[in-house]
Each structure stands twice: as C-alpha cells, then as structure tokens.
A and B are shown apart, each in its own frame.
Chain A
Amino acid sequence: MDYDIIIGLEIHVELKTSSKIFCGCSNEFGGEPNTRCCPICLGMPGTLPVLNKKVLEYTIKAGLAMQCKIAKFSKFDRKNYFYPDMSKAYQVSQYDLPICYDGYVDIDVGDKTKRIGIERIHIEEDAGKLIHDSNGQESLIDYNRCGVPLIEIVTRPDLRSPEEAKILLETIKSILEYTEVSDCKMQEGSLRADVNLSLKRKGSKSLGVRTEMKNINSLRAVQRAAQAEAERQAGILGSGCEVYQETRRWDDNKGESFIMRGKEEAMDYRFFPEPDLPPVCVDEKFLKAIQASIPQLPRQRRERYVNDLGIPRYDADLITSNKHLADVFERASEVCGNPKLVSNWIMTDIMRRINEKGEEILNSHINGDNLGWILSSMERGEITHASAIQVIDVLIETGEEPGNIIERLGLKVQRDEALVVKAVKEVINKNPQALSDYLSGKEKAVGFLMGKSMAALKGRGDPIQVREILKKELQSYL
C-alpha cells in the first residue's frame, strides 16, 4: 500500500547568552557539577526570576529571520511536572501566547524550493542533567544546565520525507548561526529535535495516527529516525494493525526506536500563567532595532553570489554553508576586487586547510582582509601563486602580518630586466642539450628551460616576463 509521510519537527535551541534566562548564573557549557547555579535557577522559595533581555531579543531575531509575526503581548506559563531534572517541579515556558508565530522557512529539495510553515517559536528554560548510577540504585543531578535559555521552534507538518526533515533542520541551523543567536553545537545538545511523524494513505483525506520521537541530536539521526519510523508504521499498517499514539525514544546506535509512553500515560502539564514574571510587550521601535541587526541570510547570500558575482552555484552553496567562511569571502572580495579569484582560492587552498586544521583558522589568523590583500598582491604580480600559498602557510602557523612575511622571506617578484636576462643566459649556457633540442624544433625544451630559469630566480621571477626574455634569447640562436 502507498502512503504519504507527514512530518513536523519541534526543535530546541539553546541561546548563546552570557548569563542564564532568569538569573545571573553563567550560561557556559560544562563546569564542575552544580557550580553554575543559584537559588533562582533551583527555584528556592522566596526567589524571584527576572527575564534576561537578550533572551527576548534573540528569540525575536530568530523569529524575524524565519518570517514570523511577533506578538505585541506575550506571557510565560508554568508547565508542571514532577521529575528531578527540574527542582522547582515546573518548567517556565510559554503556552498560549508565544512570542513568535506564523512564519516559514524555504528549503531546497533537489532543484525545487519548498516552503515549510513555522507554527510558533516560544521561550523556555532548559532542565538539569541526570546521571544514572550503573547499579540502578540512585541518580545524580547536575543543575548547571537548569535555567539555560531555550527556544522551541515548532514547524507545521509540511515535511514529506525524512530527507526534507534533515534539510529543514540543516537550513534552520544555518539561519540560527547566521543570526548568531545560538552556536548550534549538536554534540553538546544545544540544538536537538523531536520528530512527529504519521502516514496518510495516498489519496485519503484523513490523517494517520502520529508518534513522537524525542531528543534527536544530529542531522543524520533525524533523517535515520524518520526513515525507520516511517518503515515501522508502514509495516504495522501493512499487516492490518493500527499505529498507536505514543512517545518513542530513538537509539541511533541500534538504529531503532523504543516506546517510552503511550497515550494513557501522556503528560498532563496543567499549564497556568507564571505569576512571578510580568508579561512582555514589544513595540515597533524595539522590533525595528532587532530587524536591523539581522544579517543577510544564507539563501539570499547564495543567490547574490551566483547572480551578481558570477560564482558557480556549487561554490556559493559551500561558501554560504558557514557564516565565517561567507564573511571571509565577502571581505576578501571587497579588498581584492575579484570575487571569482577569492572563491577559487576558498574552494581549493582554504578548504584544504580547513579540512586539515579545523574551522578555527578562519577566526584566528586568516580573515577577509589579509586573504584579500595576499590575493591582490598576487594579481598585481607582486608575488607568485606559489608564494601566495607560502604566505598563507606562514600566516596560519604564526599569524605574522603578510607584508612582513613577504619582506622577510624575500618573496617579492624579481623584475629587474638585467638580472633576469643574466639568469636566463646562464641557464641556456649550462644546458646545451636543451638548446640543441630547441633548435631542432622540440618546443618541449622551452618548458624545461623555463623551469630552470624560474628556479635560478628562486621562484621569484615574473613568469610572463621570464618567458618573454627566454624566448627572445633562444631566438637569437636561430
């Protein structure tokens, strides 16, 4: 039987503020257990939470970048549950009046663009971490992550394949990185997704029963989990049974999911308005300031690179997949005035170095200014291609200023004609065999002598000038 796959995602994102959402504890990842918490994040009686303004700004920024409407009036609610990862016995979240709603994200599926609805984005706080003792007798709790600001992005069920789910998550991840509201480190859990999935018989109007898979923390795992769940549900329906509404846990090592709780045990959170936090009213001025801080997003940048700068689509895709790389590309292009040259260098030389040494080289030593400067020196013929590579080597190694490197290593191209003529003449004299080859019509000999001449000039000759002088010298023997 044929089914359509219907998928929606709920994506949790930790915001990269300095402090936590309601108190002045550090939001840094890690730390000795329980050293980054206080009576407020532990919810001790008599404490009063106060909203971190940056959390509001970042949430609105993310919402605007995903074309959301921003609520003029928004409030917080308590989501009540008993579980030791939250010592207060409730999580502060937003129930019926989320800060952002009704947006969308465009994704590229093959060569088609597909619009995926964003139902809402709301603010909430993260919970602590439980460590289960191996003998099953006790659990240990670290509340350092408790009170870390989160946003939850809820998509509409517009995704129709596991691949689309992965592409959407990838696209949202890059929007969040471009807007710099989260570092999106999936291995540290700062971006994680729940997959809601159901099957609908092709041509039928009624939706199937959906299941929810919790806390998947890699792009690949989202696709794998959705694929496995679609197959599991199809198997159940194919054998004439019914799918139960349930919450499941995906085990990426085993490649399968396990039931956590069924419909009967579904949580009843008894939301109610949070009395300790006053509502939030957003005015136009505040919105405009945030709107102005949103940089051009990856899709728009990519289109501009392709259409205005003439960069191949594949290259533009790769460059825009990383904001740092895109920033370096843009700045270097401005400095040297030749975007195609910069993109060629990024696609070959710079990418190779990133693969070898990691992305950090972009922030530490290589930036748009010095890369642009090196490439324009090369374009002006002041240094050779080989020297440019050498300068970048030293730059990455030591961070030395490129102008100094060129000076110190004597990399400046040698254009003194008398010197070049002298070197070329010596090369011809030392290689009589090559000369006689040339005289008997073997053009290959020119290449050989060219190589020798460049070597004699320690690689610092201007290849065009050297070739010209070499040809002139050789012709004098004819």
Chain B
Amino acid sequence: MAADIKTIKKIADLAAIFIEENELEAYAAQLDTIINYMEELKNLDIGDTKPMEHILQMNNVFREDKVTGQNMRNELIKNANIAKDGYFKVPAVVDLL
C-alpha cells in the first residue's frame, strides 16, 4: 500500500485536521487509489513532452514599486476574533523561528 494509516495520521497532523480513528482506514484506501492512479502515468510514453513546472500558461506579471496602500487597520481587525491595542490577539504561542 502506498498510503497506510500512519501516512494519513501524519498528513492530517501536518494539515491540522482532526480525523476520527474509525475513518482512518477509509481515507487510507482512498488516498492509496489516487497515488496508484498517478503510478499509472509512469507507464505512459510521453515522448519529449516537457515537464510542466507551473499550471499557469503565462509569465512575468508584475506591478510597479509604488505605495498605494493606506492604513486600514480598523477594517482588518474587524475580522479578527480578538484584538487588543491594534494588535491581533491569539492564545500564547512559543517561538518557532
């Protein structure tokens, strides 16, 4: 199996998603199917098709270096659950760096 229960647990953990113990097996099976499907691609003759590095078929979209933003703190803070003195407030976190 390409994806087992352990893999599902790890992915769920990384994505910060909670999965019930009894759902793990079903997810593992589904993910396994997907990965195996990708494996099939390996058997295809793709000739000299170039690898696709990016899904967008365009490039070089830029903006000029101009300051157009202005203070919109009140509007931004409005969306937060808790704020204090103009800061967003969250439960204590340890430094990650």
Contact = CB atoms under 8 A, between A and B. Distances in A.
Given A83-B96, A270-B14, A273-B54, A54 B76 contact: no
B68 to A, nearest CB: 3
Interface in B51-97: 53-56, 58-69, 71-73, 76-77, 79, 84-93, 95-97
A178 interface: no
A138 B66 contact: no
Given A34-B77, A138-B92, A25 B69 contact: yes
B16 interface: yes
Contact of B63 (A26, A50, A136): A50
Nearest to A215: B97
A31 to B, nearest CB: 9
Contacts of B54: 75, 273, 278-279
Contacts of B86: 32-35
A84 B56 contact: no
Interface string A135-152: 011111111000000000
Interface string A16-55: 0111100111110000111111110010100000111111
B60 A278 contact: yes
A197 B77 CA distance: 42
Contacts of B76: 34, 37-39, 42
Given A50-B63, A56-B62, A141 B92 contact: no
B90 A138 contact: yes
A273 B59 CA distance: 14
A97 B58 CA distance: 17
Contacts of A53: 62-65
Interface in B14-33: 14, 16
Given A131-B87, A215-B97, A249-B97, A280 B60 contact: yes
A266 interface: no
Contacts of B89: 138-141
Nearest to A96: B53
Contacts of A142: 87
A24 B96 CA distance: 28
B85 to A, nearest CB: 7
A24 B62 CA distance: 12
B64 to A, nearest CB: 6
Contacts of B91: 137-139
B56 A275 contact: yes
Interface of A is mostly: loop
B59 A281 contact: yes
Given A139-B93, A273-B54, A54 B61 contact: no
B90 A141 contact: yes
Contacts of A20: 69
B69 to A, nearest CB: 4
A26 B67 contact: yes
Contact of B69 (A26, A132, A278): A26
Contacts of A38: 69, 72, 76
Given A19-B67, A19-B68, A51-B62, A33 B93 contact: no
Contacts of B63: 24, 50-53
A11 to B, nearest CB: 15
Interface in A73-88: 73, 75, 80-85, 87
A27 B84 CA distance: 23
Given A75-B54, A275-B55, A23 B69 contact: yes
A278 B59 contact: yes
A260 interface: yes
A385 interface: no
Contacts of A133: 92
Contact of B62 (A52, A73, A137, A143): A52
Contacts of A33: 73, 85-87
A214 interface: yes
A278 B59 CA distance: 5
B35 to A, nearest CB: 15
A264 interface: no
Nearest to A51: B62
User: What 7 A-B pairs have minimum CB-CB distances, sorted nearest first?
Assistant: A24-B68, A140-B87, A25-B69, A54-B65, A53-B62, A141-B88, A35-B71
Interface of A: 17-20, 23-27, 32-39, 42, 44, 50-56, 73, 75, 80-85, 87, 97, 130-133, 136-143, 214-215, 247, 249, 260, 268, 270, 273, 275, 277-281
Given A55-B65, A277-B61, 8 more contacts: A19-B69, A37-B69, A37-B76, A82-B16, A141-B89, A214-B97, A260-B95, A278-B54
10 contacts: A26-B67, A32-B73, A34-B77, A36-B71, A52-B65, A75-B54, A81-B96, A82-B16, A140-B87, A278-B59
